Amino acid sequence: MKAHTKETQDTMTPKKALEYLIEGNGRFQNNLKANRNLLQQVNETAEGQFPFATILSCIDSRVSAELVFDQGLGDIFSIRIAGNFVNEDILGSMEFACKLAGTKLLVVLGHTACGAIKGACDHARLGNLTALINKIEPAVDAVKEPKEDALRNSKNMDFVNQVAEKNVMMTIDNIRSSSEVLVEMENKGEIKIVGGMYDIKTGEVKFY
């Protein structure tokens, strides 16, 4: 499989880009990697890159976007931060990726049993991590059930995963409310913004 070129990127649509990721995740789940020569892709991308998707995911060592979607060099922009939330710098990176570099799909990818989400559920406080946790805690507050404080913590994995899903959706809302560039592109049909959850037990990504 060759690296994407300007020509293949130009023929890509948001719908087709999403299908590519779904197909890639299917290969990953079945341990069927696409036949690609990474060293050849190094040479093919030496003069430029033409990715088709931008993926915001967590730093979790089990959730590498390139691996779980079976993509090669030059295929996707990968933005990673604990808790997969956005700030001004990440929004700027997304705007570059979509508006200037031509990606057609923007994915916010959460995952089950997320450590950053667990920290937010427990209102953890530790050095600079405190500021990061503060950015995720609104998702904790947005999940209304269960109401009992004893069940609203990292020991309740169902609650943790509900917060992770809510965090993905709130991150998408933040992208749309904070980036005129991206929301204009979405309204014109030039890009699609979607959320997804990766299951660390099965390797499956479920898109919303």
Spell out the alpha helix ranges (H) of 49-156.
65-68, 88-95, 115-121, 129-142
Query: What is the predicted pLDDT for the residue at 7?
Result: 86
Is 60 annotated as a binding-site member?
A: yes
pLDDT in tens, the chain (208 residues): 788 888 889 999 999 999 999 999 999 999 999 998 888 999 989 989 999 999 999 999 999 999 999 999 999 999 999 999 999 999 999 999 999 999 999 999 999 999 999 999 999 999 999 999 999 999 999 999 999 999 999 999 999 999 999 999 999 999 999 999 999 999 999 999 999 999 999 999 999 9
Query: What is the predicted pLDDT for the residue at 5?
Result: 87
Query: If you classify domain 6-207 with CATH, what class do you get?
Result: alpha beta
CA dist., res. 153 & res. 155, Å (int) = 5
Residue 65 neighbours by CB distance under 10 Å: 25
Query: What is the predicted pLDDT for the residue at 2?
Result: 85
Query: What is the predicted pLDDT for the residue at 175?
Result: 98
Distances 44 to 3, 14, 21, 63, 104 between C-alpha atoms, Å: 6, 24, 21, 26, 21
CA dist., res. 208 & res. 170, Å (int) = 13
Is 58 annotated as a binding-site member?
A: yes
Distances 52 to 17, 25, 91 between C-alpha atoms, Å: 6, 15, 17
* Residues in the chain, total: 208
Is 114 annotated as a binding-site member?
A: yes
Query: What is the predicted pLDDT for the residue at 134?
Result: 97
Residue 147 neighbours by CB distance under 10 Å: 7
Query: What is the predicted pLDDT for the residue at 25?
Result: 98
